[in-house]
A and B are shown apart, each in its own frame.
Chain A
Amino acid sequence: MNLATTITKKEIKSYFNSPAAYIVLVIFLLLSGWFFASPLFINNQANLRTLFGIIPLLYLFFIPAITMGLLSREKNTGTMELLATLPIKDSQIIMGKFWASVSLIGVGLLLTLVHFITIMLLGTNVDFGAIFCGYIGLLFLGAVYSSIGIFASSITSNQVVSLIISFFIIFFFFIIKFFLFFVPDFMVGIFQFISIDYHFSNITRGVIDTRNIIYFISLIVLFLKLAQISLENRNWK
């Protein structure tokens, strides 16, 4: 078995061994359900657009919470020494943690399929393509935020600090679309490209463009690489 998978298994077990994962999932579902259901009959449209609108905002709060402990707790309790002296590469540790976080997000998204079923039962002309793409987009978005969270977790042994750092990095990518209005014309293109919402909304429209996918993947690779570098740099603590 791949060593990263062993780490993933361990982290998923530890998520579900404590009440934390359940609390996160329940609140995530309650909030997303509320924001999805309350305008459903007013809009009178058989799609999940409201859901796809609210989940990125919920991510902003939930993903720092589920990733904050992944590495900083290991540093804090000293188990990092144990892990780092086992025959496993730092990159495998990082990947294992990353997949654990993505899996938990996947479970959350899977549970929101109940809304999809509602739509299917109530509505006609459901655009399956758009919904499928929307979920793909949400999964990628969750993966990007997870990699940011893991990077934040790798640079500190304090979980609260990790939470705050990842919140602000994610917030930066999240908020940047609102600044498009203020930047000079020639920079709009750059800002738009950096904005995570630009790429995400492209996907939810039902178009999976390689440019958007490449954007997501490069962010994931960037932050996981940074996390790996910070982990390898433990000599100075």
Chain B
Amino acid sequence: MISLKNLTKDYGSVRAVDHANFEINEGEILGFLGPNGAGKTTTLRMITCFLSPTSGDIEVENMNINNKQIEIKRLIGYLPEHNPLYIDMTVYDYLKFIADIREISNFGPRIKEVIKQCGLNGVVHKPINTLSKGYKQRVGFAQAIIHDPKILILDEPTSGLDPNQIVEIRELIKELGKEKTLIISSHILQEVQAVCDRIIIINEGKIVADGSTEELQSAFQNKTKLILELIAPESEIIEISNNINETSILSTSPLNDATFKVEIEYDSAKDKRAEIFNFVKSKEWVLLEMHRENISLEAVFRNLTIEGGEK
């Protein structure tokens, strides 16, 4: 549906995007992840025809951005970073303006739908500059979906919102993602993890990883960390790793007189939890807690982006 071929963008001598190649299929929810300044926004701005590439090509539904800009823009709904709005307009006037430019014929029923979907009911006739940041973000969403686009591009849609608003906006994104191709850029991992089925990680303009959440996790995480809280004699804790093959104790730290926190690492492919539990039981220690630490994408992200930075 969208394909980027050797996409490169220079700002003067700075290369913001460096030979990016990927394809996005219809219906996919793509998380576009990277640290600040990695080239996310620049890439999205090229897809939305705001900037033109220095070299390389973008095709949206087999239309090239060099000669079909207007047609491509019609397909895309875009919420830019920082959500720019005409703040002296009322919500209604603003959406009417966008709808007029997009030449939407059934504006009356459509705006009702969008207002309902984005939860803008009470504020339709208020000037945008009187709204809270969360509501402004909803207005931005409403603007992006008013023409019921096939493709929706959201550039850091939750940045600057409070936790409640973030949850609400994520719900909205999930709702919208059911029927659209969605690209969400973010530097927040949990966010991407929560809503996306595919993740592309970009660093210094280069794509460093591309795959589903699980794929990325399993590709980069081969050790599992298990955390125990035990009531046991300190000197004997070491016996866990002595008695069970292929496990190693990373650390033991006292929580109080008799309770210890123990971190154990083992190969992710071989689950050792049952063996560890049985060993603790045979020793008649008291097991207060046992959980695996989700190293998750955070580590993957760090690995990829910091390593890249050191090169």
Contacts and interface: CB of A to CB of B under 8 A. Distances in A.
Contacts of A13: 89, 93
Contact of A87 (B11, B12, B93, B101): B101
Interface in A85-123: 85-89
Contacts of B298: none
B12 to A, nearest CB: 8
A174 B155 CA distance: 47
Contacts of A235: 51-52
B45 interface: yes
Interface of B: 11-12, 45, 48-52, 70-71, 73-74, 76, 78, 80, 82, 84-89, 93, 97-98, 100-103, 143
Contact of B51 (A14, A18, A89, A234): A234
Interface in A1-23: 1, 3, 6-7, 10, 13-14, 17-18
Max chain B C-beta neighbours (<10 A), residue from A77, A80, A235: A235
B74 A87 contact: yes
A178 interface: no
Contact of A85 (B73, B87, B100): B73
A128 B101 CA distance: 42
B82 A85 contact: no
Given A1-B100, A13-B93, A234-B50, A82 B73 contact: no
Nearest to B46: A235
Contacts of A89: 70
A84 interface: yes
Contacts of A84: 49-50
A86 B80 contact: no
B84 A85 contact: no
Contacts of A18: 88
Given A84-B50, A86-B73, A87-B73, A77 B84 contact: yes
Contact of B86 (A3, A79, A86): A79
Chain A interface: which size bin?
Answer: 20 to 34
Contacts of B80: 78, 81-82, 85
Contacts of B70: 87-89
Nearest to A84: B50
Nearest to A81: B80
A229 B309 CA distance: 37
Contact of A78 (B73, B82, B143): B82
A148 to B, nearest CB: 25
A41 interface: no
B91 to A, nearest CB: 14
A216 B100 CA distance: 32
B102 A79 contact: no
Contacts of A78: 80, 82, 84
The A contact surface, by secondary structure, is helix
A66 B82 CA distance: 27
B129 to A, nearest CB: 11
Nearest to B100: A6
A197 B78 CA distance: 47
A79 B84 contact: yes
B101 A81 contact: no
A78 B93 CA distance: 19
Nearest to B90: A17
A6 B143 CA distance: 16
A212 to B, nearest CB: 36
20 contacts: A13-B89, A13-B93, A14-B86, A14-B88, A14-B89, A18-B88, A77-B87, A79-B84, A80-B84, A82-B84, A84-B49, A85-B48, A85-B49, A86-B73, A86-B98, A87-B70, A87-B71, A89-B70, A234-B50, A235-B51
A236 interface: yes
Max chain A C-beta neighbours (<10 A), residue from B52, B76, B82, B97: B97
A14 B98 CA distance: 15
Contacts of A6: 97, 100-101
Contacts of A3: 100-101, 103
A236 B14 CA distance: 11
A80 B49 CA distance: 12
B38 to A, nearest CB: 19
Given A87-B103, A234-B51, 9 more contacts: A1-B100, A3-B100, A3-B103, A6-B100, A6-B101, A14-B86, A80-B84, A85-B80, A88-B101
User: 5 closest Cβ contacts across the A-B interface?
Assistant: A78-B84, A87-B73, A6-B100, A85-B48, A79-B84
Nearest to B53: A235
B40 to A, nearest CB: 14
